[in-house]
Structure 1
Amino acid sequence: MAQAPSTIQAGTLDPTFAEEGVLTLPTPELIGPRTLALLPLAENKLLITVLLPEKPGSFGLAKVNEDGSIDMEFGGGTGVVEFSKADTNLETISHLSGLSDGGWLVIGEYGSPSGAGSYVVRFLQSGQPDTRFGEDGVRLLPFRPESRGGEDGPVTFSRRDREASAQTPLSSGNNGPFAVVQPDGKIVLRSAVFIGTDVRWVVLRLNPDGSTDYTFNGTGSVDIVFPGIPRVARSAKGIVLQADGKVLVFGEYSQTTPDSRGIYVIRLDATGHFDTDFNAGTGFVTVPNLSNANAVALRESDGAILVAGDTWPNPEQGYDRHGLIFVLSRDGFFDFAFNSGQPLFSKLVDKGHDWHRCAWQADGSIVVAGTTGRGLVEKGVSALTARFRSDGSLDLTFNGSGFVLFDEEVYDETVEVMALMPDGRIVVGGFRQLPAPVWGRFFGSWFIRYLA
């Protein structure tokens, strides 16, 4: 069951948030049962995405007050700002980004009678769509490439080529940051483009008004490749922006066999060209051996790069996952101050776990959150949050052991999001569902807040 806040220490549930530190959705005020994207706001509020089951193809935004209640003043007194586009099914909500003017970007995937693709919606701080962006606040990016003859014909992108779906839309937060916003307002995104049956992972940049920025690599996009190395990018999980405007991209690569896959981190300069200054001229860093990358974060003080994910060290012995963390300097060298310059593998519970989200705390500590078990259809899945010191050792002041489990007795929990509040408190969230054999029956979302 959920941990009771018996002592007031880091890693214990914050008793001032919702019901003894736990908020479950739906609530009487907020009926959207599944929400994944999460963004901390001023006044220790949270912005969350809300699916609207009574309005398929639409999504909403809602604010959660510091005490865990729903901000009913948002959305003109309803608590929800709704968004829809005619003849377009907004199927997923993948990412939330804050903007310097107080507004937000929402990114996801859509389907329509004419095809499918990705969308970017820009909201004002009031919650209204910014009509100066794209078409009435939204830019649609079809999966299939179009002519580059005009502003509406950039490289297009997605994880898969598919037709419009009639299914209920889903929130999605399974990857790292989908987009970053530069200080000049330009938007850098990552995804994939399909040419026939071939897929290429790309990074592209939009102008502040949503049009394609053709000054980025001369085309508006850049393919993720490994010059001179026989590796193929299997994914681009996310991107982050360094202080000097350079773009880090991370994901998974493969070589000639399925067992050859691993993690890569690659850097582009501010103009969208491959940066050979990264990692002493190679331009990229790789970590092999059946490893998956799930999240990335930059340390504000020195730009150190934190990557979190999981690995399968002994697939022939039960397929238990181990958590994986490694730290690079801002220029791509393994940080010897963290775990002697080596990736850190962890198995904090017997059934294994992944790390799905990560963050740097102000003092250099590392907070990670993930899901226990194999990540498959199984009983007993729960949420795991841990804190490591900057040298890679477990911080035993965090819940007295370095980690904490959130486990409701009736439901299984999967971790999808994590964020640090402005005051350092830790918010973790995800899905709740019934265990196998009826896995897939979702019963809403949950958020917990830990003291830091």
Structure 2
Amino acid sequence: MAYASSAVQAGTLDPTFAEGGVLTLPTRELGGYRTLAMLPLAENKLLITVLLPEKPGAFGLSKVNEDGSIDREFGGAGTGVVEFSKENTYVDEIVDICGLSDGGWLVMGGYASFGDSGIYVVRFLEDGRLNTLFGEDGVRWLPFRLEPKSGGMEDGPLTFSWRDREPSAQAPRSSGNNGSSAVEQPDGKIILRNVVNSGSDDLSHWVVLRLNPDGSTDETFNETGSVVIEFPGVPRVATSVKGVALQSDGKVLVFGDFFQNTLASSIYVARLDATGRFDTSFNGGVGVVTVPNLHYANANAMALRESDDAIVVAGDCWPNPDQGFDRHGLMFVLSRDGFFDFAFNSGQPLFSKLVDKGHDWYRCAWQADGSIVVAGTTGRGGVETGVLALTARLRSDGSLDPTFNGSGFVRFNEEGYEATVEDMGLMPDGRIVVGGFTRRPGAVYWGRTFGSWFIRYLA
């Protein structure tokens, strides 16, 4: 149920979507029990990814109509599901969806097969068919090992693996420029983030890389195809890259977090120029913005404001261990060139604890009027009962917007069961869609059954 004071105001469930604003999986048409990423489409449709329990090692894509029904015509088979699988390979880890300028999209995730593992990047056309001009029949396989460089050179560019699996990462991933795992440039090239094994020291490093439109590695990017994200005085093996975004001038924003020591951590935002080199003009010549001396901090999402490339970063932390173990949502806003925005919370990071036991912020998005929508999950971040999905809207100064559900935030727990947020996005008309995962009492999977839900809020 959702806690709302009115059936018509912003922040309340949209009664025109599914059953009173809530779509739950599985449905009669769609048997997938879990979704990890979604992408708002034109005509206020929604693309969703689902794992297929009847076909282990495969995933499916479906379209949801504006009214919450499954688009049975999608894919042309009459089922409404486009399936993807590879023989003798598990491709059921879905990490991200990235919309493309041709109307299609990329789906990213992890794969594993006998003696090999890494990530896959699958390129689909708008009608759900594979774009066979991309990679190997529509797929770029990026194994966790070195590959020969084109031209017969002995050592090649780094290859990639989803070594540090995240609860759902990062994007949303659901729109093309919101701190996702991948983003398309205007020329069709694709910026990705991932983990590599350098081969020389056998250590894993977080990198940003660029692919050509056909899926081949763009070796003009940093002259190697990739750039390791590291900063002076910070061990590079401790640095994570949570997402990338593309500014209007072609520069690439990178954000993530790293540990300074066993307790203190920092969140960072850095910028690369169009050639893949670190942009030292960011933050007045420093080249990186950090929020240091946090306690177990996570940078989970980033979004750019279309009008001026202003940056919002959302995450969570435990501000002070002496104050208990409740998580606080964390947000801050930067100008396009890396200066803290004094119009937002007087230029300081904003720590939020809107409910008992705390919460995180897992996704964020700018609305057209400059408001910021965030979504996350309540609780302390561990395995616990009673967790809820939490969605809030803040004004441009960082204060809660009381016109949103009468309080600035709204909670949701599907039919009283536990509900955790996996993704969020804004529909073309501004309505807010949040997707998540449900654990219900039952006798399957460690005493529980699983499902997914989507809710749409009025904006």
**TM-score if structure 2 supplies the norm length?**
0.92
What CA distance in whole angstroms lies between the structure 2 residues aligned with 1:160 and 1:40?
28
What CA distance in whole angstroms lies between the structure 2 residues aligned with 1:278 and 1:231?
21
AA aligned opposite 1:10: A
Q: Is the 8 A contact 1:145 1:193 kept in 2?
A: no
What CA distance in whole angstroms lies between the structure 1 residues aligned with 2:442 and 2:239?
30
2:222 aligned partner? 217
What CA distance in whole angstroms lies between the structure 1 residues aligned with 2:142 and 2:74?
29
Determine which of 279, 284, 296 is the counterpart of 2:283.
279
1:449 aligns with 2:456: yes
Determine which of 355, 372, 388 is the counterpart of 2:394.
388
1:124 and 1:230, CA in 2 relative to 1: closer, same or farther beyond 3 A?
closer
Query: Residues 137-176 of structure 1: matches in 2 within 5 Å?
Result: 137-149=138-150, 154-160=157-163, 172-174=168-170, 176=179
What CA distance in whole angstroms lies between the structure 1 residues aligned with 2:222 and 2:447?
42
Q: Secondary structure at the match of 1:94?
A: strand
Query: Residues 359-398 of structure 1: matches in 2 within 5 Å?
Result: 359-398=365-404
Q: Secondary structure at the match of 2:263?
A: helix
More deviation, 126-135/440-449: 440-449
More deviation, 151-160/268-277: 151-160
1:150 and 1:143, CA in 2 relative to 1: closer, same or farther beyond 3 A?
farther
Q: Secondary structure at the match of 1:330?
A: coil
Q: Deviations over 1:148-203 (max 9, x none)?
A: 345995311224289xxxxxxx9944555100000111011001112454111100
1:418 aligns with 2:424: yes
2:209 aligned partner? 204
Q: Deviations over 1:62-101 (max 9, x none)?
A: 0000000000111211100111223321031111111111
Q: Deviations over 1:344-386 (max 9, x none)?
A: 0100002100000000000000000000000111111000000
Q: Point out where structure 2 has 5 or more consecutive residues left out of the alignment.
A: 172-178
What CA distance in whole angstroms lies between the structure 1 residues aligned with 2:427 and 2:143?
35
Q: Deviations over 1:101-126 (max 9, x none)?
A: 11111111101113100111111111
Q: Is the 8 A contact 2:119 2:162 kept in 1?
A: no
Query: Residues 16-415 of structure 1: matches in 2 within 5 Å?
Result: 16-76=16-76, 77-149=78-150, 154-160=157-163, 172-174=168-170, 176-194=179-197, 195=199, 197-226=202-231, 228-232=232-236, 233-255=238-260, 257-288=261-292, 289-290=294-295, 291-415=297-421
Count of residue pairs brought into register by the alignment: 443
What CA distance in whole angstroms lies between the structure 2 residues aligned with 1:349 and 1:92?
31
Alignment RMSD = 2.2
1:165 aligned partner? none
Q: Is the 8 A contact 1:347 1:353 kept in 2?
A: yes
What CA distance in whole angstroms lies between the structure 2 residues aligned with 1:231 and 1:347?
32
Q: Is the 8 A contact 2:96 2:170 kept in 1?
A: no
More deviation, 17-26/49-58: 49-58
AA aligned opposite 1:110: Y
What CA distance in whole angstroms lies between the structure 2 residues aligned with 1:157 and 1:448?
34
More deviation, 411-420/51-60: 51-60
Q: Is the 8 A contact 1:111 1:117 kept in 2?
A: yes
Q: Deviations over 1:5-46 (max 9, x none)?
A: 843000000000000000000001000110121101111000
Q: Deviations over 1:203-237 (max 9, x none)?
A: 000000000000000000000011x3345443111
AA aligned opposite 2:265: R
What CA distance in whole angstroms lies between the structure 2 residues aligned with 1:191 and 1:86?
24
Aligned-residue sequence identity (percent) comes to 73
Q: Point out where structure 1 has 5 or more consecutive residues left out of the alignment.
A: 163-169
Q: Is the 8 A contact 1:45 1:63 kept in 2?
A: yes
1:11 aligns with 2:11: yes
